[in-house]
Structure 1
């Protein structure tokens, strides 16, 4: 069953839904809300279990997370929206296009990948999920995930940004983190979905992203019939947090161009 997601909904105009990264919450979109609200209706939900959203009892599934987002749109009377997702949010956005293509006006896929997890990555996710469940805390994320969430430039030169990301990781609820790790480990590849998409898509990646690389971004761009690629310099996996001005400018230009009629997925 779907979960009623907690969400911030501010501004007017084209609806822009931004789906957060793992293991953060909609709090990561602070700079996007401030910069984009004067031009668009910006909706930033907490995906199930994170922030102010409950987890529920469903089996771990990215598809379930996508269905939650569609239920949120329906509750707000929104027929179609631009769906943006970063990292895990990108997985949810691609699942949404597979399951509910008629609801998508355009896509922003940031620091994410269309491929399923390679077996070593899948095993690592499941190991972390088991450890977090056993320990009842997210310390393993601080040790193993946090160092790779931002790029070396941010780590060296933006102590406040790194500290903010560290705080968001530490605040992640253990049950939701374990659930999401299992959901991501089980997700299918999405290249077939991308090849069938017709809506415009903006693919973004940080030049210093080690988790989802420029090669991953180019593979998605090549698979999409109507896509453009932006590489953000001096940013790692959380490009929207590390270089918000460049990220916001790219997204604003992309969404503004969707004001005319476009196809569905």
Structure 2
């Protein structure tokens, strides 16, 4: 059976956390699980699992996963969520704290809707629970068409100006260059599938209202794509949510300011572990 590529931190290094729930991290579009590497050291001894999205990193194409899981072939974040649930269970993980950034957050919301029993805690980082506007959907479909045409991955290059914050562009050139390199190397088929899947997602604010688990809603203060109103809308629906704004970070907050994002994620994990 085809499965997503998952990267499990050695439980022997978790210093007393063996047998506890892991922290599962779902990356942003159009990157892969490498985006979490700067933050892993900041998380210390926590048991952490990172996942490559369909068609990204070492994961198989979405169409292959859909056939294996018996899901519709049409691009959908529901397929991604089912693939996450299947991959975690294959690792013996039945419950976890799941945190996603941007597209990873959309997928965490789909997982909360489809498999709420698996979530001990939920982290929503630089993401939102509402559906795209008609204009945003059209923009996604246009990129999906361009990236699989003659332009290729050059279609993703302008994203650097919106997904990386102003402070990072000014003071952290190494982060900017890393993101630029990853954008250029993004797999066209994976980019197209993900854009179409995100364009088709629906409003999941009601999903949040049905959860009674510890949650974190976090936003980089310089995020040009997620606003304070998006954060407030999600926080209002959650019964036990910490709300954090990270100074000097844009949309890729976990990559831009890993220590500042790791702290509230660790606190989320601690709250969830204590409630289990």
TM-score band by shorter chain is over 0.9
Q: Helix, strand or coil for the counterpart of 2:81? A: helix
Alignment partner, residue 30 of structure 2: 23
CA contact (8 A) 2:3 2:59 kept: yes
Instruction: Judge conservation of contact 1:11–1:39 (CA < 8 Å) in 2.
Output: no
**Alpha-carbon displacement from aligned partner over 1:99-140 (angstroms, at most 9, x marks no partner):** 000000001100000110000000000011111122262111
Structure 2: distance between partners of 1:46 and 1:197:
26
TM-score normalised by L of structure 1 = 0.94
In structure 2, what is the equivalent of residue 40 of structure 1? 46
Q: How far apart, in 1, do the equivalents of 2:10 and 2:47 lie?
A: 4
Does 1:165 find its partner at 2:188? no
CA contact (8 A) 1:139 1:170 kept: yes
2:129 aligns to what?
A: 114
Aligned counterpart, 2:4:
5
Q: What is residue 69 of structure 2 aligned with on the other side?
A: none
The CA deviation string for residues 24-56 of structure 1, in whole angstroms up to 9 with x for no partner, is: 0000000222222x4321111101100111114
Residue 241 of structure 2 is matched in structure 1 by 227
How far is 1:5 from its partner?
A: 1.0
Give me the whole-angstrom Cα distance separating, in 1, the residues matched to 2:230 and 2:185.
Answer: 29
Instruction: Kindly report which structure 2 residues correspond to 1:93-112, keeping only aligned pairs within 5 A, or say none.
Output: 93-112=108-127
SS at match of 2:7: strand
Counterpart for residue 210 of structure 1? 224
> CA offset at residue 3 of structure 1?
4.2
Cα distance between partner residues in 1 of 2:124 and 2:110: 12
- Cα distance in structure 1, aligned partners of 2:214 and 2:150: 43
What is aligned with 1:62?
A: 77
2:66 counterpart residue number? none
Q: Which position in structure 2 is the counterpart of 1:196?
A: 210
Whether the aligned pair in 2 keeps the contact of 1:136 and 1:174 (CA below 8 Å) is no
Unaligned 5+ segments in structure 1 are none
How many corresponding residue pairs?
A: 259
CA distance in 2, matches of 1:102, 1:211: 30
Q: Tell me, in whole angstroms, the C-alpha distance in 1 between the residues paired with 2:258 and 2:143.
A: 30
Under a length normalisation based on structure 2, what TM-score does the superposition of the two structures give? Answer: 0.91
Partner Cα distance (2:151, 2:79) in 1: 24
Q: Provide Cα deviations, 1:139-189, integer angstroms capped at 9, x if missing partner.
A: 11102x221011111111110011111111111100000000000000001
In structure 2, the partner of 1:141 is 156
The correspondence for 1:53, drawn from 45, 53, 59, is 59
User: Alpha-carbon deviation of 1:9?
Assistant: 0.6
Gaps of 5+ in 2: 12-16, 64-72
Which residue matches 1:83?
Answer: 98
Deviation at 1:79, TM superposition (A): 1.1
